[in-house]
Structure 1
Amino acid sequence: MKRILLILIVISTSIGYSQTDAEVLRTIYTQSLTNGKSYDWLNHLSNQIGSRLSGSLGAERAVAYTKEELEALGLDKVWLQPVMVPKWVRGAKEFAFIETEPGKTTNVNICALGGSVATPALGLKAQVVEVHNFQELEALGTAGVQGKIVFYNRPMQADLIQTFDAYGGCVNQRYQGAVEAIKYGAVGVIVRSMNLRMDDLPHTGSMTYNNVPVDKRIPSAAISTNDAELLSTMLKLDKSIQFYFKQNCKQLKDVQSHNVIGEITGSEFPDEYIIVGGHLDSWDLGDGSHDDGAGVVQSMDVLRLLKASGIKPKRSIRVVLFMNEENGLRGGNKYAEVAKQKNENHIFALESDAGGFTPRGFSFDCSDAAFSQVLSWQQLFKPYLIHYFEKGGSGADVGPLKTESIVLAGLRPDSQRYFDHHHASNDTFDAINKRELELGAATMTSLVYLFDKYGVNPISNSSLIKN
């Protein structure tokens, strides 16, 4: 009888180590949905630490917290990678109004764009000229723009199903708007918030002055979508109305911060690296739960889920929590720079930076051969309603790693609500759904597992079925 029990135990153990890929994915999803850590980590990151603008105290507290949590997972290595980052501070809350005649004003909601200079101490008031693109601005020229505030009012294109395409179609007015307006003598810039919803929340985001001298720079702010519509309507009735705004932001000297990195060292190919990550910094209006606290905690949970599921990676798996994606990409560039100096062989990099909503799939930046391999795995994800596997972009932080051989990927959650929160004061923990967040962590872990098991060489469908 004892001999029979021993044989059964041996057989059972053998089956456990020869699970099919479908069974391994089922284990990963079960672990995430019943024993996930991502939601608890995000709760602390958002509600105990809060906003994490690069160079801020919140960012440094987030570095210390995530390093400590990764160390508690019992990884093979955890370390901090120094990186110099910009330090921009918003200062006192902004204030703005539309003036139709002396003493008759309507308050509106604005926020300074990241990197902007302040207005004069008493604020700035001038007539407004509305444009929808740089071509309209150029057509007005100096005669139509000099001494005025340029109001960029191109909305995100509502009929595009891919909301990131809609964002990409109008974000240049936020990022480059000041540079273009300065050419024609503008004294300030107001930009319609990058938001598909009509609301009263201004959305911040990065802007640039390129090489414009400091004394020639003009203040730039975002205005809520409701107030953009109001301003546009009032301008149609009276082009002589004036706009007043006051903001108190300041650019300080660069300071040192860190990328946070944890690693499970590969058992067979330790010099082949797979990384998964998100950016630890956030804007300062909310607590950055969707952008990109969700990506941070999902990436951390990938390594924990691999361990909890009994998976011993063949290749070295790293989680990288990048600093300064929002206003400089210093963390992503520094990680790639150090990897190149060390001649590290990165074969796959996955980023989560599109919110913590229901996962739909991935986009891939890779060769046709590697993409064919990815498509052969699609059937494994169908039970979890993961169906989007397309070639396209990956993530800003992993982009600097790009070579001909590496596969770059981005998690693609449902994006229809993402820009309601993106860079705004309502990017807060209460907007996170625990189950959606945990599904995303499991989906990322599953793809990492497959790339670790098979590498980046194309495999046939028949080979997949056998495994």
Structure 2
Amino acid sequence: MKLKNAALCAMAAVGLSFSAQAQNTDSLMLRKIFDETLVNGQCYENLRYLCKKIGSRLSGSAGAAKSVEWSKKLMESYGFDKIYLQEVMVPHWVRGEKEQGIIVSGTTRTPVALAALGMSVGTPKAGITAEVIELQSLKELETLGEAKIKGKIIFFNRPFDNRFIETGGAYGTAGDQRNAGPGMAAKYGAVAVIVRSLTAALDNYPHTGGTNYGTNPQIPAAAISTIAANKLSAMLKQKSAAPIKFFLKTSCQMLPDVLSYNVVGEIKGSENNNKYITVGGHLDSWDLAEGAHDDGTGVMQSVEVLRVFKALGYKPKNNIRAVFFMNEENGHKGGIKYAEQAKADKEEHIAAIETDEGGFTPRGFSFERATPVFLKGINQEWKKLFEPYEADRLVAGGGGTDIGPLRETHPNIKLIGFRPDSQRYFDIHHTPNDVFENVNKRELELGAASIASLIYLIDQHGLNF
């Protein structure tokens, strides 16, 4: 018995030795990844070109087409094993002339900062003037009914819930006003909708974003700045002889769908020819600015992952693929196409990582459909490796919009979201302020290195926790 116990102890010691050796190897590799990215990183200068030389890239636009061409050339310059364009038909919405929004109180007219919502229809050429009704929720539409809503402009003014520490939660709970509000208001006879911008910041930047009418009638819809929202709300609360009205004029319209592309670059695996780890962000952006944080940082981090592996001479076991998805902002057609094609090609996808929450300081990663057992295992094995880089929050949570369709076509895939610090993102998100100057070089590079590190660990060890 003593001999048997001694043998078992010896085997355990050998196992611990191997585990310690693997940890040391991984730790050294992560250090190399961060060193390469922080010393020789190229994602910041690539982002500068994308923002300053190309600019806004809404699906169907000339900017989107130019960005596809440039992105493919960028990947070719790095010598990836495979680079190609994946065809996808995308919607083509145009904003048209500068929008006008004016609060009308008797003879007083107060212009406000305003931007049409993406996919919205335009107003008549002369614009629309109507009485305003302020609401805090979509449920109030049903309570008021058609008798009180018909012919009015609905003003959705529910603010961010600042109790959320992770600001994406506040965005999610306020977002139904913008996403579904216009269509639902139209059912009750509203002639237009204005929405408080989805941000906790108090400023004069209107935040655009998509709206979805579904099968409801289509009416003009726009977002007003938080300062304007507060002003309009205060005026509505004051007793006045005449009702407060709002003048809205927009000229946006939907044009026929156009052909565009996902841009794909790949490093071939040395062992598993049909297994893939994907990292990506979306190449398209809203038209108000340069799409720096949303999502220029994401696509530039994704291509930087492959560049770093090439620079370090790392030969992955599995195929590593960077994807610049097209049309995340107003249709998600690029993500759908990618998943459909991966299924048609019978590709086995181990994991997909999406970076679409800005280029801020990395905090960690969220894992979709993560069980307690999985989270315990991944934290026991990998958390300490990320701790030196302060990107060690490995938690349950969403993956992302573009990689989401893969959950249906590849049921065994692990979908992962890159999680940077969220506190400033929705100050900039979908605004004219989303420009290159608001991206910090070191934060962007730390994020790219964190993503590359996770992909390295998945490639070496899998995700069987």
State the TM-score, normalized to the length of structure 1.
0.92
Distance in 2 (CA, whole Å) between partners of 1:374 and 1:79 is 34
The match for 2:308 among 282, 302, 305 is 305
The 1:281–1:345 alpha-carbon spacing in structure 2 relative to 1, beyond 3 Å, is same
The 1:274–1:433 alpha-carbon spacing in structure 2 relative to 1, beyond 3 Å, is same
Query: Matched residue of 1:46: which SS?
Result: helix
Cα deviation 1:384-423 (Å, max 9, x = unaligned): 0113111110111111111442111011000000000000
Aligned length: 438
Distance in 1 (CA, whole Å) between partners of 2:113 and 2:391 is 39
CA RMSD, Structure 1 to Structure 2 (Å): 1.3
The 1:303–1:370 alpha-carbon spacing in structure 2 relative to 1, beyond 3 Å, is farther
Q: Which residue type is aligned with residue 74 of structure 1? A: G
Q: Which residue type is aligned with residue 281 of structure 2? A: G
Distance in 1 (CA, whole Å) between partners of 2:159 and 2:395 is 26
**Which residue is equivalent to 1:345?**
348
The match for 1:281 among 273, 280, 284 is 284
- Which runs of 5 or more residues in structure 2 are unaligned? 1-21
- Does 2:394 match 1:389? yes
* More divergent stretch after superposition (179-188 vs 237-246): 237-246
**Which residue is equivalent to 2:460?**
453
Asked if 1 retains the 8 angstrom alpha-carbon contact of 2:184 and 2:213, the reply is no
Cα deviation 1:60-95 (Å, max 9, x = unaligned): 111011100101111110000000000000001101
**Which residue is equivalent to 2:109?**
105
Give 1:373 deviation, angstroms.
Answer: 4.0
Query: Matched residue of 1:267: which SS?
Result: coil
The 1:183–1:77 alpha-carbon spacing in structure 2 relative to 1, beyond 3 Å, is same
Asked if 2 retains the 8 angstrom alpha-carbon contact of 1:274 and 1:346, the reply is yes
Asked if 1 retains the 8 angstrom alpha-carbon contact of 2:83 and 2:266, the reply is yes
* More divergent stretch after superposition (201-210 vs 132-141): 132-141
Asked if 2 retains the 8 angstrom alpha-carbon contact of 1:39 and 1:437, the reply is yes
Give 1:31 deviation, angstroms.
Answer: 0.4
Asked if 1 retains the 8 angstrom alpha-carbon contact of 2:119 and 2:211, the reply is yes
The match for 1:21 among 22, 26, 32 is 26
Please show how residues 48-87 of structure 1 align to structure 2 within 5 Å: 48-87=53-92
Q: Which residue type is aligned with residue 84 of structure 1? A: M
- Does 2:160 match 1:156? yes
**Which residue is equivalent to 2:415?**
408
Q: Which residue type is aligned with residue 94 of structure 1? A: E
The runs of at least 4 consecutive aligned structure 1 residues that moved more than 2 Å come to: 366-374
- Does 2:245 match 1:242? yes
**Which residue is equivalent to 2:228?**
227
Distance in 1 (CA, whole Å) between partners of 2:189 and 2:275 is 53
Q: Which residue type is aligned with residue 329 of structure 2? A: E
Q: Which residue type is aligned with residue 433 of structure 1? A: N
Q: Which residue type is aligned with residue 228 of structure 1? A: A
Distance in 2 (CA, whole Å) between partners of 1:423 and 1:385 is 28
Cα deviation 1:102-129 (Å, max 9, x = unaligned): 3x21110110000000011011100000
* More divergent stretch after superposition (366-375 vs 61-70): 366-375
**Which residue is equivalent to 2:295?**
292
**Which residue is equivalent to 1:423?**
430
Distance in 1 (CA, whole Å) between partners of 2:54 and 2:400 is 25
Q: Which residue type is aligned with residue 447 of structure 1? A: L
Asked if 2 retains the 8 angstrom alpha-carbon contact of 1:363 and 1:393, the reply is yes
Asked if 2 retains the 8 angstrom alpha-carbon contact of 1:278 and 1:397, the reply is yes
Distance in 2 (CA, whole Å) between partners of 1:95 and 1:188 is 13
Give 1:135 deviation, angstroms.
Answer: 1.5
- Does 2:329 match 1:326? yes
- Which runs of 5 or more residues in structure 1 are unaligned? 1-16, 459-467
Please show how residues 121-140 of structure 1 align to structure 2 within 5 Å: 121-140=125-144
The match for 2:123 among 116, 119, 122 is 119
**Which residue is equivalent to 2:13?**
none
Distance in 1 (CA, whole Å) between partners of 2:44 and 2:377 is 32
Distance in 2 (CA, whole Å) between partners of 1:285 and 1:404 is 37
Query: Matched residue of 2:405: which SS?
Result: helix
Distance in 1 (CA, whole Å) between partners of 2:243 and 2:156 is 17
Asked if 2 retains the 8 angstrom alpha-carbon contact of 1:366 and 1:405, the reply is no
Distance in 2 (CA, whole Å) between partners of 1:138 and 1:154 is 17
Give 1:18 deviation, angstroms.
Answer: 11
Cα deviation 1:176-206 (Å, max 9, x = unaligned): 0111111211000000000110000100000
Query: Matched residue of 1:240: which SS?
Result: coil
